[in-house]
Amino acid sequence: MMGLIVPPVSAESGFTTGFVGRIPVRNLWLLMLYASDLFRPGGIAHVAVEESPDELPDLVAELLAHAVETRLHRQLSLGYRSREEWLSRVRGRIDVLTTERRQLLDRGLVACRYEELSIDTPRNRFVRAALESVARLAKKPTIAHRCRSLAAAMRARGVAGQPPTRAQMSADRFGRHDADDQFMVAAARLAYDLALPTESAGGNLLAMPGREEAWVRRLFERAVGGLYAVALSPFGWHVRCGATLQWQITSKTSGMDSILPAMRTDMVLDHADSGRRIVVDTKFTSIVTAGWYREQSLRSGYLYQMYAYLQSQVGCGDPLADAASGLLLHPAVGQMIDETVVIQGHPIRCATVDLTAKPAEIRAQLLRCIEVQR
């Protein structure tokens, strides 16, 4: 495990801040929550559970609602359920004992046992019940209404049975065809528990997250994209992660295609009604470094990269691209930074987020970063 452990950040919380490389991180579970990577194996350990902040029900409700909306859009997974019926024709296996005891043949019937493909699976019923449960706990009326509406939509589609017990859900296994359900079910479990694990020692047995620097770097990017997708989509924002931008090429030699690098952003946030586009680039490093003639300087390569993202798209016939802004987002290392510069009409904001803060504050910081650029 990489990094060092430093004294607790506060006597009240009891947390220690660990390091991934030089980056202080209070709790990787929060990033994993937003990145939809809740149960990445990294060894088993006893962990503590954070005292639920007031915003936690709303946070988990948002994640669950977003996961369910995605699955409803793509169609909920189907499963087989056992049925027993008296039918006029044979279906599945004949229950000879019941057929004889009830003298069904005299009435032209036969008792059958068969498997039926249905949307009313234990997994889907578990998720519907989680939506109903967290809707009663969410403090924001809009989020509570969103969860109740999704639960009603699942009922309308046929997910109407009784929810399974915890023991039944513990036996649930995911195959290749239903791997997309994993995040939805994980979010449903969190909605039932309403507890955010921490990396401090405690009495709960869970899979501990690894702290490899390369993986956490990618996790930070995915967590930011996941938070923006969950929090902004209901308000008309379209979030594209890993968006590819096209070079404005007027001519090229025959071999250029094989060596020209792709221009791929971490995420692009579009809001058509307000005409806003924000190109976001995350880096899991300090936002400043030592300069030639001063103690601190923005990393020039990152600024050049953002400039290329923005200016290369001007004049392509896309009004959002012509007025796009950029956000360079880094974790805080020793200080918080939030500065903006306008270059050729494009605001570029350089901001940090304190990953040692409490979950509600981390979320608030990330959302503040995409407010109207100064």
197 three-state secondary structure: strand
- Write down the pLDDT at residue 307: 95
326 within 8 A of 349, measured Cβ to Cβ: yes
Q: Which amino acid is at 52?
A: S
pLDDT tens by residue, 13-22: 344 567 887 7
- Write down the pLDDT at residue 339: 94
Q: Which amino acid is at 142?
A: T
Helical residues (DSSP H) of 75-140, grouped into ranges: 96-101, 122-135
- The pTM of the full predicted model, rounded to 2 decimals, is 0.61
DSSP letter string, 290-316: --SSSS-EE-HHHHHHHHHHHHTTTTS
- Write down the pLDDT at residue 202: 66
User: Which of 79-93, 224-238, 306-320 is the most confident on average?
Assistant: 306-320
Least confidently predicted of 2-11, 339-348, 364-373: 2-11
47 within 8 A of 200, measured Cβ to Cβ: yes
**Which one, of 270, 279, 277, 284, lies nearest residue 333 by Cα?**
284
Higher pLDDT, 95 or 55: 95
Domains of the chain: 53-78+119-194 (no CATH), 80-118 (no CATH), 213-249+262-368 (3.40.1350)
Least confidently predicted of 166-180, 312-326, 351-365: 166-180
- Write down the pLDDT at residue 171: 73
Mean pLDDT to the nearest integer, 130-142: 89
Average pLDDT of the chain to the nearest whole number: 81
Higher pLDDT, 79 or 301: 301
Q: Which tokens sit at 106? A: 């005299």
